[in-house]
Structure 1
Amino acid sequence: MTVTCRKATESDVDSLYDIIQSYAEKGIMLPRSKEALGRHIDTFVIAEYEGRFVGCGSLFRLGQDLVEIRSLGVTDGYKGQGIGRKIVSFLTEEAKANRIPKIMALTYEVAFFEKNGFTVVPKEIFPEKVWTDCVHCKKQNNCDEIAVMKRLD
């Protein structure tokens, strides 16, 4: 199976919205409006298989030395085939190219991130995340996601 990753374009907004919304409805990803996706389209990467959208992820800058992998998802029927790993690798290389030394994520899939070189860390070390997204989350005071981080320097 040959999956390719590429930077997202405006024409990908509907596909991004659909996959993110499917995860958000399960309570495992923050929802994103189509307008917000359009405004931040330059942060997204798309995974494709035979020209079909099969996954996505975003690399969002939280500070000078920190980026977050977010909105990472794989479409139903394609999970467990290494697509998430390819997306994380693509985003990690992008962070390295921009000389950003730390990459983090909040996740329920700790084992997946550990296989990709991340380690569990306390959420409290990321106040940048709290003030950008967590303040808008309904789980703000009862967050059950696990923070993971990978140093790239």
Structure 2
Amino acid sequence: MLVQEAVCRAAKPEDVDTLFELIQGYAEKGIMLPRSKDVLLRQIGTFVIAEIAGAVVGCGSLTRLGQDLVEIRSLGISEGHKGAGIGSKLVAKLIEQAQAQGIPKIMALTYEVRFFERNGFSVVNKEIFPEKVWTDCVNCPKQHACDEIAVIRYI
């Protein structure tokens, strides 16, 4: 059987329902912040999706936190497609976007440290990102007991 290659592209408004389902699956496990369909629609321009044969199998977004810093958010791969390099393709596409915008630093908060290290990121103290702490962490239920690891890549 020939395995088709995942193709990354900019998300479109018609992808919102699929994005919502993918992100919600992770949110229900407590490993990703939930996003409403309204928020996804407003932020659709920040999302990249991975498709195989027209089916969405992964997503990720790039959110600007400051003049020289963006965050990779909502990076997820559908069940049955994990471990196939799709996450790395999405990260590469998001890095391309950051480079095109002239942004030299990309960060993420993650439970998948080894994945990010394989993609050129290094572990750092999350307190070096006050932009993140004051925009998102203040509203997070895990704010006072955050167990995510901060990673950064300089481009």
TM superposition score normalised by structure 1: 0.98
Partner of 2:34: 31
Matched with 1:84 is 87
Deviation of 1:2 (Å): 1.0
- Count residues with an aligned counterpart: 152
Q: Which moved more, 1:128-137 or 1:50-59?
A: 128-137
| Percent of aligned positions that are identical | 68
What are the within-5 Å matches in structure 2 for residues 62-77 of structure 1? 62-77=65-80
Note the C-alpha offset of 1:118: 0.1
Q: 2:118 aligns with which of 104, 115, 118?
A: 115
Say which of 23, 26, 46 aligns to 1:20.
23
Partner residue, 2:151 = 148
List structure 1 segments (4+ residues) > 2 angstroms apart after TM superposition. Answer: none
Aligned letter for 1:92? I
Supply the AA of the counterpart residue of 1:135. Answer: V
In the alignment, residue 21 of structure 1 is paired with which amino acid? Q
Contiguous gaps of at least 5 residues in structure 2: none
**Which whole-Å CA distance do the structure 2 matches of 1:74 and 1:17 have between them?**
13
Alignment of 1:1-16 (within 5 A): 1-16=4-19
Equivalence for 1:136: 139
| Secondary structure in 2 matching 1:71 | strand
What's the offset of the Cα at 1:37? 0.4
Aligned pair partner of 1:47 in 47, 50, 64: 50
Task: List per-residue Cα deviations over 1:92-149 (Å, max 9, x = no partner).
Answer: 0110111100000000000000000000000000011111111111000000000000
Partner amino acid, structure 2, of 1:113: F
| TM-superposed deviation, 1:25 | 0.3
TM-score, length of structure 2 as denominator length: 0.97
Unaligned runs of 5+ in 1: none
Return the alpha-carbon distance in structure 1 between the equivalents of residues 151 and 112 of structure 2.
Answer: 10
